Amino acid sequence: MDIGVLLPTGTAQWGPDEDPRRLIGFGRHAERAGFTSLFVSDSLLSPRIEALTTLAALAPATGTVTLGTAALMPFLRRPVQAAQSLASIDLLSGGRLVVAVGAGFPGRFGRPLYTLSEVPWERRFARLDETVALWRALWTGAGSFHGEILRFDALPPTTRPFRADGPPVWLGGATPAALSRTGRLYDGWLPYPPSPADYASGLREVRAAAVGAGRPAEGITPAVYISVRIDDGADGGRGVLDSYARATYGMPLEELAKVQAVAMGSADQVLGHLVRYVTAGARHLVLRLGALDPRSQREQLDRVAELIPAVRAAADRATAAEGA
């Protein structure tokens, strides 16, 4: 059972007057507190420390935690150069990199990014899959690559990652097409469905697609992305999370909670919600802390860390029940 935290790399989370170098100390503190992974988000639509730059800085500053993206938008980068950057981080971290990827969404979080990147919005999912296939080809020393969209007759020697096959690549998303593609092509699944029941049914579809493609169902890492806020106040942190949702997404919590997993309330209430996802099959939790300043981020980190033993115990019980 892995439990990770999303680092607050955006200025909406740490403020324009804060020293972003404190993020490295935040990551080290999370590792000492018992978290087993550190993730960063990726965007051009709000000011933030760039995802791969952050992971490169964390690589020598941490020792054992997995370093991941949640989620990287490959279309923002030239694919051959991105493969080299990812391989370099995998090397610098001693093989601790996980790359969760996405193709963006319709509306303000999708099309504007494609315009900025001078990449067509059409066939974005095929482009994503081919980009990942190209990375894997480069990481294993292929001299050429011929897809429907990306074609290279002569690839130069590129940086080889720490692991022979390169870092594992996960897919975000929970549409029927995304579930099928995850099972057939990817190493893990990182969605954020607001219902544990939807997570369980989605995971069954992912595993069925894997088996149908001749892959082992257990070879797909079942992860989930959840926003959390532990708060003993009368509203259980709803007001703070609403401010967080508006600052981060420009929408109220009520709307965000319709499409993303959110756990808030007392420590017991948050634990209960996390355990429901564990019971549904999740074995890697990526937790985004609902706080808008460094002091509150650290407080939330420490409060969530206190739940780690209980979450792991729940995972042990769920695994035992599956094997019974």
Residue 48 backbone phi and psi in degrees, to 5 = -165, 165
Axis crossing angle, helix 124-139 with helix 176-185, rounded to the nearest 10:
10
Domain at 160, CATH number: 3.20.20.30
For 98-157, the DSSP string reads: EEEE----SGGGTHHHHHHHT--STTHHHHHHHHHHHHHHHHTT-S-EE-SS-EES-PPP
- What range defines the domain where residue 243 resides? 2-323
Contacts 24+ apart (CB under 8 A), 129-134: 129/181, 129/185, 131/74, 131/75, 131/79, 131/82, 132/74, 132/101, 132/169, 132/185, 132/186, 133/185, 134/79, 134/80, 134/83
Closest CA relative to residue 4, chosen from 310, 285, 289: 285
**What amino acid occupies position 171?**
L
pLDDT of residue 249: 86
pLDDT of residue 318: 95
Closest CA relative to residue 197, chosen from 277, 311, 314, 256: 277
pLDDT tens-place values along the chain, 324 residues long = 999 999 999 988 876 778 999 999 999 999 999 999 999 999 887 889 999 999 999 999 999 999 999 999 999 999 999 999 999 999 999 999 999 999 987 777 788 889 999 999 999 999 999 999 999 999 999 999 999 999 999 999 999 999 999 999 999 999 999 999 999 999 999 999 999 999 999 999 999 999 999 999 999 999 999 999 999 999 999 999 999 999 888 899 999 999 999 999 999 999 999 999 999 999 999 999 999 999 999 999 999 999 999 999 999 999 999 887
Q: Which two tokens stand for residue 206?
A: 């992912």
- Strand pairing partners for 236? none
- Strand pairing partners for 227? 262, 288
Tell me the chain's radius of gyration from C-alpha atoms.
Answer: 19
Name the domain count of the chain: 1
Alpha-carbon distances of 191 from 43, 72, 91, 198, 225, rounded to whole Å: 17, 13, 27, 10, 6
pTM of the model: 0.97
